[in-house]
């Protein structure tokens, strides 16, 4: 890290009162840390002029950089400019550059500009207006105490754009020769819990003393995030590569992607590489497997069809599963899952057929097939497999997610192993 320390302040009654979760601050922290600036503290407060001004003064006394989000709009409870002026002990003035931007933004959108929108161009004296390419409210940069404050809009995509376009380039310039590089990378995994992942990775920090490790449970995946920082970008990149390889080896085929890609993107890539297609027959996952697969742009190249056959009758009528199979084994069984996968593959003409049938809960469990039971069928050009898994979750949404991920993971492993 360089020697600069930073703080983040989120403003607004919605966040203060808990009506809205503040996701801006996490994004900003990540971006600042990757730019080599250490974030020491986040704060959040509501639309109260005195409290705001006093927090700005506090931050101005102890940090070098601050990013403040929210409070730049045209209404009476948008107080950021006024609070900043109070904290800095300066007046508010109409900034002509900012006014030009606001007028231009309204013109572009063909919106009528009201008198109150002019307020968005009224800034503390001495502030530098910051261009907002995707919204109507300009940001501004102001020194309060020893700290450079970036005031940005609270709308996430406006804030994100201004962080990358304006804040980061300036931070790099401010750091000059003291710049440190901060690299991070994420490896997405599935199949091992947090504790087992930790065990597998024991020894990493001894082997690579410069690497800092962070596990992040993004249910049902585990994301392994690791960081390095220092002055020599080349050395750091090499260390990252070696670290990634070491981790990938320890995690084996639980690795979804060493580049942090999602399960559905990896499965889609593998299908594309093989010029193969897939069709799905879903029962308990209720469409989630298809929803994930079709989240990938271009998925129509390999995703042909999914039959969400919730009722037994639909399994028989649409897929052509035999009523004997359903009678003999029940809807939740490997044999039924196999027949679903095989049938959906045949009727769609896909290379692979994938199926799910299970008990997502909260009702419907029995002692033999409790909530959390999932059967997955996978039909390939050469075989049809059935798998049975039991998960300990009671919540429907958790079960649907881990069921769908388990099915996609079986397809992924098949595509990885099959070298045809």
Which of the residues 295 through 314 are near its own copies (CB under 8 A)?
A: 295, 297-300, 303-311, 313-314
- Residues numbered 311-350 forming contacts with its own copies, rule: CB under 8 A: 311, 313-314, 317-318, 347-349
In sequence order, which residues have a C-beta less than 8 Å from that of residue 324 and are 6 or more positions away?
Answer: none
Q: Does 290 bind its own copies (CB under 8 A)?
A: yes
Cα–Cα distance, 358 to 292 (Å, whole number) = 18
CB of 127 to its own copies, least distance (A): 24
Supply the DSSP symbol for 176.
G
- Residues numbered 213-272 forming contacts with its own copies, rule: CB under 8 A: 214, 216, 225
Nearer to its own copies, 140 or 343 (CB): 343
Nearer to its own copies, 169 or 214 (CB): 214
Nearer to its own copies, 23 or 116 (CB): 23
- Omega into 362 within 30° of 0, i.e. cis? yes
Nearest CA to 375 out of 346, 412, 338, 413 is that of: 338
Among residues 74, 230, 258, 286, the one that binds its own copies under rule CB under 8 A: 286
Q: Does 76 bind its own copies (CB under 8 A)?
A: no
Cα–Cα distance, 270 to 254 (Å, whole number) = 16
Phi-psi sector, 126: left (phi>0), alpha (psi -120 to 50), beta: left
Tell me how many residues contact its own copies (CB under 8 A): 72
Give residue for tokens 């994004």. 27
- Residues numbered 149-208 forming contacts with its own copies, rule: CB under 8 A: none
Q: Does 420 bind its own copies (CB under 8 A)?
A: no
In sequence order, which residues have a C-beta less than 8 Å from that of residue 164 and are 6 or more positions away?
Answer: 31
Contact pattern from residue 4 through residue 43 relative to its own copies, giving x for each residue in contact according to CB under 8 A and a dash for the rest: ---------xxxxxxxxxxx-xxxxxxx-x-----xxxxx
Q: Does 287 bind its own copies (CB under 8 A)?
A: yes
CB of 78 to its own copies, least distance (A): 15
How far are the Cα atoms of 189, 197, 204, 344 from residue 246, in angstroms, in the given order? Answer: 14, 13, 8, 40
Nearer to its own copies, 306 or 325 (CB): 306
């Amino acid at each position: 890290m360089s020697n600069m320390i930073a703080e983040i302040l989120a403003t607004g009654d919605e966040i203060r009162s808990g009506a809205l979760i503040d996701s801006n601050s996490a994004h900003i922290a990540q971006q600042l840390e990757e730019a080599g600036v250490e974030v020491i503290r986040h704060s959040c407060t509501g639309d109260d002029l005195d409290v705001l001004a006093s927090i700005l003064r506090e931050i101005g006394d102890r940090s070098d950089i601050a990013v403040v989000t929210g409070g730049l709009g045209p209404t009476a409870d948008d107080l950021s400019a006024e609070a900043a002026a109070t904290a800095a002990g300066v007046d508010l003035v109409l900034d002509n550059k900012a006014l030009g931007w606001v007028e231009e933004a309204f013109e572009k959108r063909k919106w009528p500009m009201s008198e109150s929108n002019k307020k968005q161009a009224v800034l503390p004296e001495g502030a530098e207006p910051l261009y907002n390419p995707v919204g109507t409210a300009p940001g501004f940069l102001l020194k309060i105490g020893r700290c450079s404050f970036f005031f940005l809009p609270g709308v996430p995509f406006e804030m994100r754009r201004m962080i990358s376009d304006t804040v980061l380039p300036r931070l790099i310039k401010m750091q000059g020769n003291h710049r440190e590089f901060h690299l991070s990378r994420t490896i997405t995994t599935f199949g091992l819990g947090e504790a087992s992942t930790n065990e597998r990775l024991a020894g990493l920090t001894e082997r690579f003393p410069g690497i800092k490790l962070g596990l992040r449970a993004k249910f049902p995946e585990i994301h392994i995030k690791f960081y390095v920082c220092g002055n020599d970008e080349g050395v750091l990149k090499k260390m990252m590569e070696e670290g990634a390889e070491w981790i990938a080896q320890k995690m084996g085929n639980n690795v979804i992607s060493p580049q942090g890609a999602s399960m559905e993107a990896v499965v889609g890539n593998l299908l594309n590489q093989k010029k193969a297609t897939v069709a799905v027959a879903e029962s308990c996952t209720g469409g989630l497997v298809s929803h994930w697969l079709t989240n990938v742009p271009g998925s129509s190249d390999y995703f042909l069809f999914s039959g969400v056959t919730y009722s037994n009758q639909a399994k028989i009528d649409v897929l052509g599963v035999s009523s004997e199979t359903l009678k003999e084994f029940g809807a939740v069984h490997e044999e039924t899952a196999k027949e679903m996968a095989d049938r959906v593959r045949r009727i769609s003409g896909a290379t692979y057929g994938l199926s799910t049938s299970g008990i997502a809960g909260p009702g419907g469990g029995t002692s033999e097939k409790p909530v959390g039971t999932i059967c997955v069928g996978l039909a390939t050009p050469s075989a049809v497999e059935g798998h049975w898994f039991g998960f300990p979750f009671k919540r429907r949404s958790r079960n649907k997610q881990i069921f769908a991920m388990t099915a996609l993971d079986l397809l992924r492993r098949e595509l990885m192993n099959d070298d045809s």
